[in-house]
Amino acid sequence: MPHKANEPRRHKIPKARYRVENWAAYDAALCRRGDLTIWVTLEAIAAWTPPATQWRGRPARYSDIAIETGLMLRIAFGRPWRQTEGLLGSLMRLLGLELPVPDLTTFSRRGADRAVASALARTDRSPWSSIPPG
């Protein structure tokens, strides 16, 4: 912390002020910041639960599309696993779908080996659009 005895010798540069000249465009840009658009295709809804397998053992409850959708939402919003689970559950309620939502342990176990997680984690923070395969 600077000492108060040196105050008169410091060079003072006033902070530049930002002046808004086009209020209509500025207000529209502020409104667009909160815009959220999520497209869910009928194919993704149909593929949410995996088909039955012919192998012994417990069948998978969630498909790869369900896990990758949760991973994309987690990376897009920068939320932890529990909040991602809640976000995905609220999206299902808003869409009126009775689909099961993976819990946080399923996300962390099955999401560790997904290529989409590492690819999206390396991108910059600019707006992006992603379409899960399938």
Number of domains in the chain: 1
The boundaries of the domain holding residue 116 are 36-121
Is residue 72 included in any domain, yes or no? Answer: yes
Q: Is residue 31 part of a domain?
A: no
HEC letters along the chain: CCCHHHHHHCCCCCCCCCCCCCHHHHHHHHHHHCCCCCCCCHHHHHCCCCCCCCCCCCCCCCCHHHHHHHHHHHHHHCCCHHHHHHHHHHHHHHHCCCCCCCCHHHHHHHHCCCHHHHHHHCCCCCCCCCCCCC
Domain assignment present for residue 44? The answer is yes
The answer to the question of residue 50 being in a domain is yes
Q: Is the full-model pTM beyond 0.95?
A: no
- On whether residue 106 sits in a domain, the answer given is yes
pLDDT of 120 strictly over 70:
no
How much is the average pLDDT of 56-69?
Answer: 87
pLDDT confidence of 131, banded at 50, 70, 90? Answer: low
Residue 53 domain-assigned (yes or no): yes
